[in-house]
């Protein structure tokens, strides 16, 4: 039986590999080719060979390649045609042609969907990646049928014809003389004889692989069975003699042995295997990244960083990590996400300048300020002068004093804006420097309508950032930023300008969406050189390397193994159906990398955060990684008891934090304010939202209704919830109008008209046009779906009134108050009249049992009668009845029609369109009548009398502070 060599995973893999190579080939290594999962081990091997005094020098080094580097060589040798490896953009463009042909063939779901170049790109990219995965696994995809309703319509249509798309894609690549890395791998794997013939020229070692793709497995198996390659694992040595006792993460190696019918043999050349049974592990529980970093800093103090790795599973944390590390010889090996760089911020500002502009030369002031404040722009130094910083500050002041939109090129600095000693030459050079920035970052993007144009405009920005006069350049001070800029200029921009679809015309929103997706995928590779010193790396970069001292940061479950991003084309559950590895496989690979790294270490510190994460819209609680849980569990079993945080190996990090005293804001009600209030109560009608505003926070009410302060006019990137609410109300109003007065089963109505009208109104709205393309798509699709669900849940009813305005006067003390409300809908149902209000936001439901709490309502009546304002009672009312709106609508209806409504409810349009009613079935007719005709006017009188009697407006902070526009003037903030 043929063998696979196993190196104990507690030993140094690369040092042991060196011994194996010398034993097998002596120092004649020139024909040796070592294949690795990644490039880094080869550098270490070269270092080991160089430092080995027993290896004579000079020496021909063995060749070392990653598998991804070797396959294109093989492909070229087997098929000498000069094939072009095409970019993702080209592949997406080609897939558009294929999908459009299928659309025009009139078959399947695709024929019913619009296939427009403009909107296909995001799907094209995902589809190209999926097909590439099939190539890499050497699989031919099958169609996935009947997925309508399970995935998005376009995804269902593409998956339904996946086999045909794949077939056409392959044909088209062949016809054009194009290839992809996956297709190369597939080609090589399917030509075993040529593969063996080529491989026989070398002594091949397949070193340190774990989980293989389908094509890797086929290639390696062919070579190994033909005795053309030797395979070396770095794994738990138990797989040799006691596979049942082997660490669970080595499962993939056992499967591999079984698949090939191979026998594992443990080498006795292992270099420095660990003698202790396990590493010394410390768990450090912080509450955020910075608390972990402070502990790291402490643990690193006094060490020289030799033979030490700081592993950062989330590469976006690189910058804070670098700031906390002691000033040592540091080497970074990882792919840093371009999307976390300052350069990305600048590109994003440039795109947003166009997205928020009102046409050429009409730029939104806030984005212009963002541009002027960008550090790259501030450090620009026109030849022979000083950095632009000072003139940019003056320009910013002028912008803040001006209008909402402006043409930045029209700004002319005043005499006082210049330094006293500035001469004309200085002024001209500085102004020209500023104009050069504005032309490159604003004007050059105004007429861009193709990817090539976008690439050229970005190149213009790079030209401005890189001065001709290298002496004045500051980039050498910022190596990471410089590397990002280099990557943008040398990799990203050429891909944009040199693809087959580069000159096709697209709308700006699609172009920006493509660019953003593109940048989000880019990683700027950092390769540490030399190999000495403290190594900072990602978990992938640590593969096959060994360090005695290991620090793993931010070991939370969302980073280790990491969560899987949602794929709208092929959601996770469908991957298995197509025979592709799913998250369980990825988790196993991640676990193996983690445990292998630990196996070779003497001491390990694992840092993680435990508590609120708060990152992103859905930010939730961070939990330590499942791998950490497993290690702790092992430790607990050994110790025979549970380990509490702060005891044994689990250290908790805490900082003494003094609470910030919460002071209420109090605004004294002067005579002027009281007069203004009385004036308002006399002259204007009072809406439920005015009363609710006072109920929530009297200070907010004061700013909103008694001062001329208006909320700051800002572009809301996530859309405009108020405007969206208006659209939904209008659309529902018009849709239901024809059914007014008739008993109708609304659930049976076709939602198409409702949905189409919603889409039409939405796409016409200004806020929608300012949203990014993908958010617009999401909003439109989710809105349509919610309207469909809403209609389905409506049931049978008679709509009596729609958008009914009611004005009624009611006496409060000496005042005759005009109340006003607009009832979205009034239905006649089996139980009586029901008043409905559509809600696209949250629903402030009254506390259970409020309507039967007679004592409370008696207190409210007393509160109205008494001389002074009762603040506690106001807070209590706000807690029990957070909104007066629905009770007030019911009361107004009663005043206008003399009929007491049976119920009133909010219809939530955020999810299913279900109703939340003011009264439950348990509330009798008497209770409802008391609530509407007695308690509601009591609450109204109490709130208004409190407003009039209170000597101060006192803030009552709550969750609504988060979106209160007056927080800036309030001590709560
Ligand atoms: S921030 Fe909160 S407490 Fe302050 S005014 Fe606004 S709602 Fe009131």
Averaged pLDDT, 548-564? 91
Q: What is the pLDDT of residue 274?
A: 85
In a domain, 640, yes or no: yes
Contact 234, 208 (CB under 8 A): yes
Token pair, residue 166, equals 């794949």
pLDDT of 657 reads 63
687, 821 Cβ separation under 8 angstroms: yes
Distances (CA, A) of 299 to 54, 647, 699, 833: 37, 18, 49, 70
CB 536 within 8 A of CB 310: yes
Look at 414-423, 521-530, 597-606, 945-954 and tell me which has the smallest mean pLDDT: 521-530
Answer yes or no: is the C-beta of 878 below 6 A from any ligand 1 atom.
no
Best mutation site among 662, 694, 697, 874 for ligand 1 pocket (most ligand atoms within 8 Å of CB): 697
394-413 as b/e, with b when 16 or more CB fall inside 10 Å?
A: ebeeebeeeeeebebeebeb
Q: Is the Cβ atom of 667 under 6 angstroms away from ligand 1?
A: no
Side-chain half-sphere exposure of 493, counting CA atoms within 13 A: 19
In the numeric block, the tokens 């016409």 are attached to 764
Partner residues linked to 281 by β-bridges: 604
CA distance 27 to 57: 10
Question: Hey, whose CA ends up nearest to atom 3 of ligand 1?
Answer: 957
Evaluate: CB of 208 within 6 angstroms of ligand 1: no
Instruction: Answer yes or no: are the C-beta atoms of 288 and 619 closer than 8 Å.
Output: no
Question: Could you identify the atom of ligand 1 that is nearest to the CA of residue 698?
Answer: 8
Of 768, 818, 859, give the one whose Cα is nearest residue 944: 818
The rounded Å distance from CA 952 to ligand 1 centre is 15
Pick from 66-80, 136-150, 520-534, 567-581: least confident: 520-534
Asked if 508 and 119 count as a contact pair (C-beta separation under 8 A), the reply is no
What's the pLDDT at 585? 93
Residue 973 near ligand 1, beta carbon < 6 Å: yes
Locate the ligand 1 atom nearest the alpha carbon of residue 960 and give its number: 7
Looking at residue 468, its pLDDT comes to 66
pLDDT class of 470 with cuts at 50, 70, 90: low
Ligand 1 nearest atom to the CA of residue 699, by list position: 5
What is the share, in percent, of the chain residues with pLDDT greater than 70?
95
Ligand 1 centroid – CA 702 distance (Å): 10
Asked, for residue 660, whether it belongs to a domain, the answer is no
Residue 253: pLDDT over 70 = yes
Same domain, 563 and 595: yes
Contact call for residues 342 and 481 (beta carbons, < 8 A) = yes
Compute the distance between CA of residue 50 and CA of residue 781 in angstroms, rounded to an integer. Answer: 62
Q: 383 lies in which domain range? A: 340-526
Q: How many residues does the chain have?
A: 973
Q: 58: cis peptide before it, omega within 30°?
A: yes
587/575 Cα distance (integer angstroms)? 15
pLDDT in tens, 401-435: 776 789 999 999 998 889 888 899 999 999 999 99
Whether 715 has a pLDDT exceeding 60, the answer reads no
How far, in Å, CA of 538 to CA of 321, rounded?
12
Q: Would 357 be classed as within a structural domain?
A: yes
| Strand, helix or coil for residue 537 | strand
Which of 126, 148, 176 represents a domain boundary (last residue)?
176
Distance CA 146, CA 142 (A): 13
* Residue 881 to residue 878: CA distance in whole angstroms: 5
Phi, psi of 817 (to 5 degrees): -85, 135
- Answer yes or no: do 747 and 829 share one domain: yes
Residue 206 lies in a domain: yes
DSSP secondary structure of 335-401: EEEGGGSHHHHHHHHHHHHHHT-SSTT-EEHHHHHHHHH-HHHHT---TTS--THHHHHHHHHHHHH
Strand partners, 687: none
Q: Could you report the per-residue pLDDT of 871-901, keeping only the tens digit for each? A: 999 999 999 999 999 999 999 999 899 899 9
Cα(956) to ligand 1 centroid in Å equals 7
Tell whether ligand 1 has an atom less than 6 A from the beta carbon of residue 957.
yes
| Closest ligand 1 atom to Cα of 664 | 3
Residue 134: name the closest of 523, 762, 669, 569 by CA.
569
Determine the distance separating the centroid of ligand 1 and the alpha carbon of 960, expressed in angstroms: 8
What is the rounded distance in angstroms from the CA atom of residue 637 to the CA atom of residue 614?
Answer: 33
- pLDDT at position 531 is 63
Q: Is 622 in the pocket of ligand 1 (CB under 6 A)?
A: no
- State the closest ligand 1 atom to the C-alpha of 703, by its place in the atom list counted from 1: 5
Kindly report the CATH number assigned to the domain that includes residue 25: 3.40.50.300
Question: Is residue 959 included in any domain, yes or no?
Answer: yes
Ligand 1: which of 707, 712, 964 to mutate, most ligand atoms within 8 Å of CB?
A: 964
Q: Is 85 in the pocket of ligand 1 (CB under 6 A)?
A: no
pLDDT one-digit tens code per residue, 645-675:
888 899 998 776 655 555 568 899 999 999 9
Instruction: Over range 572-588, report the average pLDDT.
Output: 91
Q: Select, from the ranges 301-305, 531-535, 820-824, the one with the highest average predicted confidence (pLDDT).
A: 820-824
271 found inside a domain: no
User: CA quadruple 544, 545, 550, 553: dihedral positive or negative?
Assistant: negative
Output Rg (C-alpha) for the chain, integer angstroms.
35
Clarify whether residues 788 and 911 are in a common domain: yes
Query: 972 C-alpha vs ligand 1 centroid, how far in Å?
Result: 6
pLDDT value at position 813?
Answer: 74
Mean pLDDT confidence for 484-502: 89
How far away, in angstroms, is 692 Cα from ligand 1 center? 13
What value does the mean pLDDT take over residues 12-32?
95
Which pair of tokens denotes residue 252?
């993939």
Domain end residue (candidates: 212, 242, 266): 266
Reduce the DSSP state of residue 190 to 3 states and report it: coil
Nearest to 147 by CA among 636, 642, 774, 571: 571
With the most atoms of ligand 1 within 8 angstroms of its CB, the residue from 700, 953, 968 to mutate is 700
Q: From the alpha carbon of 970, which atom of ligand 1 is closest?
A: 4
Residue 363 CA to residue 830 CA, distance in Å, equals 57
Residue 335 lies in a domain: no
pLDDT, one tens digit per residue, over 931-957 is 999 999 999 999 999 999 999 999 988
Query: Is residue 965 within 6 Å of ligand 1 at its C-beta?
Result: no
Which atom of ligand 1 is nearest the CA belonging to 956? 3
Backbone phi, psi, residue 607, to 5°: -105, 140
Question: Which residues touch 941 (CB under 8 Å, ≥6 apart)?
Answer: 812, 864
Q: Is 960 in the pocket of ligand 1 (CB under 6 A)?
A: yes
Q: What is the pLDDT of residues 37-51, one digit of tens each?
A: 998 899 999 999 999
Mean pLDDT of 841-854: 84
How far does the centroid of ligand 1 lie from the alpha carbon of residue 842, in Å?
18
pLDDT tens sequence across 117-147: 878 888 999 999 999 999 999 999 999 999 8
What mean pLDDT is predicted for residues 700-709? 92
Exposure letters 800-827 (e unless 16+ CB within 10 A, then b): bbbebebebebebeeeebebbbebbbbb
697 Cα–ligand 1 center, Å? 6
Q: Measured from the CB, is residue 704 less than 6 Å from ligand 1?
A: no
Examine the domain organization and report whether 617 and 710 are in the same domain: no
| Segment 481-504 mean pLDDT | 89
In a domain, 316, yes or no: yes
Indicate the pLDDT class of residue 386, thresholds 50, 70 and 90: confident
Q: Give me ligand 1 centre to Cα 424, in Å.
A: 51
- pLDDT band, very low/low/confident/very high, at 268 (cuts 50, 70, 90): very high
Distance, in Å, from the CA atom of 817 to the CA atom of 941, rounded to the nearest integer, reads 10
* Cβ of 365 less than 6 Å from ligand 1: no
Q: What is the DSSP letter of 772?
A: -
User: CA–CA separation, 151 vs 567, rounded Å?
Assistant: 10
Q: Which of 705, 970, 971 to mutate to test the pocket of ligand 1 (most atoms within 8 A of CB)?
A: 970
Within 10 Å of residue 618's Cβ, how many Cβ atoms? 6
694 lines ligand 1 (CB under 6 A): no
Token pair 């000072």 is at which residue? 390
Collapsed DSSP state (helix, strand, coil) of residue 682? helix
Are the beta carbons of 868 and 949 closer than 8 angstroms? Answer: yes
**Residue 226 shares a structural domain with residue 318:** no
Q: What is the pLDDT of residue 317?
A: 83
Residue 614 has pLDDT above 50, yes or no: no
- Ligand 1 atom index nearest CA of 973: 1
Distance CA 182, CA 134 (A): 8
Last residue of a domain, one of 494, 526, 558: 526
Atom of ligand 1 minimally distant from the CA of 958: 2
**Is 666 a pocket residue for ligand 1 (Cβ < 6 Å)?**
no
Q: What is the pLDDT of residue 471?
A: 60
Q: Evaluate: CB of 695 within 6 angstroms of ligand 1.
A: no
481 and 559 share one domain: no
Let me know whether 353 and 377 are in one domain: yes
Minimum CA distance residue for ligand 1 atom 2: 961
**Residue 37 CB less than 6 A away from ligand 1:** no
Handedness of CA 121, 127, 130, 134 (dihedral sign): negative
698 CB within 6 A, ligand 1:
no
Residue 472 has pLDDT above 70, yes or no: no
Residue (of 766, 817, 801) closest to 901 by Cα position: 801
| 329 vs 318, residue with greater confidence | 318
Question: What distance in Å separates the CA atoms of residue 118 and residue 504, rounded to the nearest whole number?
Answer: 10
d(C-alpha 732, C-alpha 836), whole Å: 12
Supply φ then ψ for residue 878, to 5 degrees. Answer: -65, -35
Residue with tokens 């439920």: 688
Phi and psi at residue 282, to the nearest 5°: -115, 140
Same domain, 803 and 951: yes
Higher-scoring residue by pLDDT: 364, 325: 364
**pLDDT of amino acid 616:** 41
Task: List, in order, residues 6 or more apart from 122 with CB less than 8 Å away.
Answer: 513, 517, 774
Closest CA to 160 of 174, 177, 142: 142
Domain co-membership, 76 together with 89? no
Is 972 a residue whose pLDDT tops 70?
no
Distinct helix (H) and strand (E) counts, the chain? 39, 28
Q: Residue 618's pLDDT is what?
A: 38
State how many domains the chain has.
5
Candidate from 241-245, 435-439, 569-573, 610-614 with smallest mean pLDDT: 610-614
Rounded Cα distance, 550 and 606, in Å: 8
Cβ–ligand 1 contact at 967 (below 6 Å): yes
Q: Are residues 764 and 901 in the same domain?
A: yes
Same domain for 646 and 674, yes or no, is no
12 Cα: distance to centroid of ligand 1 (angstroms): 61
Mean pLDDT of the chain, nearest integer: 89
In a shared domain, residues 130 and 248: no
């Amino acid at each position: 039986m043929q063998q696979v060599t196993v190196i104990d995973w507690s030993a140094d893999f690369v040092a042991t590999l060196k011994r194996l190579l010398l034993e097998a080939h002596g120092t004649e290594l020139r024909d040796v080719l070592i294949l690795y999962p990644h490039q880094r081990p080869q550098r270490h091997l070269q270092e080991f060979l160089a430092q080995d005094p027993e290896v004579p020098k000079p020496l021909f080094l063995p060749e070392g390649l990653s598998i991804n580097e070797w396959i294109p060589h093989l492909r070229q040798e087997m098929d000498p045609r000069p094939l072009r490896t095409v970019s993702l953009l080209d592949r997406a463009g080609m897939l558009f042609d294929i999908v459009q042909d299928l659309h025009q063939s009139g078959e399947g779901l695709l024929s019913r969907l619009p296939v427009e170049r403009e909107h296909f790109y995001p799907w094209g990219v995902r589809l190209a990646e999926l097909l590439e995965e099939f190539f890499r696994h050497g699989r031919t995809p099958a169609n996935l049928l009947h997925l309508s309703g399970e995935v998005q319509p376009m995804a269902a249509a593409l998956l339904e014809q996946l086999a045909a798309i794949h077939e056409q894609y392959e044909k088209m690549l062949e016809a054009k003389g194009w290839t992809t890395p996956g297709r190369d791998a597939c080609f090589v794997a399917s030509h075993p004889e040529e593969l063996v013939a080529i491989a026989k020229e070398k002594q091949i070692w397949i070193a340190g692989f774990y989980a293989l793709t389908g094509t890797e497995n086929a290639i390696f198996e062919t070579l190994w069975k033909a005795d053309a390659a030797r395979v070396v694992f770095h794994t738990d040595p138990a797989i040799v003699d006691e596979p049942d006792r082997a660490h669970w993460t080595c499962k993939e190696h056992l499967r591999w042995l079984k698949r090939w019918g191979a026998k594992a043999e443990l080498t006795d050349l292992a270099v420095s295997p660990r003698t202790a049974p396990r590493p010394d592990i410390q768990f450090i529980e912080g509450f955020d990244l910075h608390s972990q970093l402070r502990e790291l800093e402490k643990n690193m103090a006094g060490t020289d960083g030799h033979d030490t790795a700081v592993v950062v599973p989330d590469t976006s944390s690189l910058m804070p990590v670098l700031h906390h590390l002691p000033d040592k010889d540091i080497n970074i090996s990882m792919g840093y996400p371009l999307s976390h760089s300052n350069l990305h911020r600048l590109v994003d500002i440039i795109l947003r300048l166009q997205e928020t502009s009102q046409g050429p030369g009409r730029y939104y002031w806030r984005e212009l300020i963002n541009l002027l404040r960008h550090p790259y722009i501030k450090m620009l130094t026109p030849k022979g002068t000083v950095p632009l910083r000072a003139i940019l500050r003056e320009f910013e002041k002028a912008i803040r004093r001006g209008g909402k939109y402006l043409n930045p090129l029209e700004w002319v600095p005043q005499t006082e804006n210049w330094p006293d000693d500035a001469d004309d030459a200085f002024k001209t050079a500085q102004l020209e420097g500023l104009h050069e920035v504005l032309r490159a970052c604003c004007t050059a993007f105004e007429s861009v309508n193709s990817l090539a144009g976008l690439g050229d405009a970005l190149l213009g920005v790079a030209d401005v950032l890189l001065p001709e006069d290298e002496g004045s350049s500051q980039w050498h001070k910022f190596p990471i930023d410089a590397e990002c800029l280099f990557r943008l200029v040398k990799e990203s921009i050429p891909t944009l300008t040199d693809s087959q679809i580069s000159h096709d015309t697209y709308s700006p929103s699609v172009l920006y969406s493509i660019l953003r997706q593109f940048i989000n995928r880019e990683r700027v590779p950092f390769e540490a050189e030399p190999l000495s010193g403290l190594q900072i790396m990602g978990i992938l970069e640590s593969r096959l390397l060994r360090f005695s001292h290991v620090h793993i940061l931010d070991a939370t479950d969302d980073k280790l193994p990491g969560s899987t991003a949602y794929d709208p084309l092929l959601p996770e559950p469908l991957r298995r159906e197509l025979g592709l590895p799913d998250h369980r496989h990825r988790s196993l690979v991640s676990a193996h990398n983690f445990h292998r790294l630990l196996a070779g270490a003497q001491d390990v510190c694992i840092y993680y955060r435990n508590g609120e994460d708060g990152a992103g819209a859905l930010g939730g609680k961070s939990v330590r990684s499942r791998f950490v849980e497993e290690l702790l569990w092992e430790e607990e079993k050994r110790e025979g008891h549970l380990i509490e945080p702060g005891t044994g190996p689990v250290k908790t990090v805490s900082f003494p934090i003094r609470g910030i005293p919460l002071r209420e804001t109090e605004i004294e009600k002067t005579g002027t304010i009281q007069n203004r209030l009385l004036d308002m109560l006399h002259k204007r009608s009072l809406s439920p939202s005015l009363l609710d505003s006072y109920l929530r926070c009297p200070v907010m009410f004061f700013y909103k209704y008694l001062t001329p302060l208006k909320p700051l006019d800002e572009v809301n990137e996530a859309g405009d919830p108020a405007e969206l609410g208006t659209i939904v109300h209008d659309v529902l109003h018009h849709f239901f109008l024809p059914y007014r007065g008739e008993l109708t089963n609304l659930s049976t109505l076709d939602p198409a008209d409702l949905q189409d009208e919603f889409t039409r109104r939405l796409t016409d709205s200004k806020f929608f046009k300012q949203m990014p393309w993908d958010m617009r798509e999401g909003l439109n699709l989710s809105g349509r779906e919610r309207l469909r669900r809403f209609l389905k849940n409506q049931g049978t009813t008679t709509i009596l009134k729609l958008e009914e305005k009611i004005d009624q006067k009611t006496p409060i003390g000496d005042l005759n108050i005009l109340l006003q409300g607009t009832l979205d809908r009034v239905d006649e149902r089996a139980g009586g009249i029901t008043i409905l209000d559509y809600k696209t936001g949250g629903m402030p439901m009254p506390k259970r049992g409020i309507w039967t709490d007679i004592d409370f309502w008696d207190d409210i009546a007393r509160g109205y009668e008494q001389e002074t304002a009762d603040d506690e009672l106001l807070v209590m009312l706000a807690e029990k009845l957070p909104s007066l709106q629905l009770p007030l609508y019911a009361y107004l209806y009663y005043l206008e029609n003399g009929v007491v409504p049976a119920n009133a409810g909010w219809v939530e349009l955020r999810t299913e369109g279900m109703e939340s009613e003011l009264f439950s079935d348990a509330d009798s007719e008497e209770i409802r009548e008391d609530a509407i005709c007695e308690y509601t006017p009591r609450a109204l009188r109490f709130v208004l009398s409190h407003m009039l009697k209170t000597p101060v407006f006192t803030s009552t902070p709550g969750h609504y502070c988060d979106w209160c526009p007056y927080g800036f003037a309030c001590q709560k903030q």
